[in-house]
Amino acid sequence: MKTATLLADEVAHNELGEPFRTDTAVYRLDPPLMIRDGIADYVVASTIDEWIPTSYGQRRLYDTNLFVSDEEGMVSDWDELHGSGNNRNHAEALAGAGYTIVAAPVGANA
């Protein structure tokens, strides 16, 4: 089974150390995800869930994207990974990439 372990102590952030303004989390992938330039051991999942005005009234926008990151949650490649897209949450996006979220053992982040 392919697993994505939530690294609860890590905070997704950009190159400047600024945290994302969306619902984000850092996951360790086992086995790593094959990407065009090699493998991804860690990903950031980022979910936008908000209401936007349209000519037909309010519309709910939800989208979850996966990005390659390091183990501390810094995104190293902004290309959206397989599984990204019109997903309501991290579990759906990671399932789209073939992974199931599992909890890390208490006190373990590595």
DSSP element (H, E) containing 93: helix 90-96
| 21-41: average pLDDT | 92
pLDDT at 14 over 80: no
pLDDT at 105 over 80: no
DSSP state of 85: B
Instruction: Indicate the pLDDT class of residue 94, thresholds 50, 70 and 90.
Output: very high
Q: How many alpha carbons lie under 13 Å from residue 110 in its C-beta half-sphere?
A: 0
Distances (CA, A) of 76 to 14, 34, 51, 68, 90: 9, 15, 29, 6, 19
Instruction: Indicate the pLDDT class of residue 66, thresholds 50, 70 and 90.
Output: very high
Q: Residue 78 and residue 80: Cα distance in Å, rounded?
A: 6
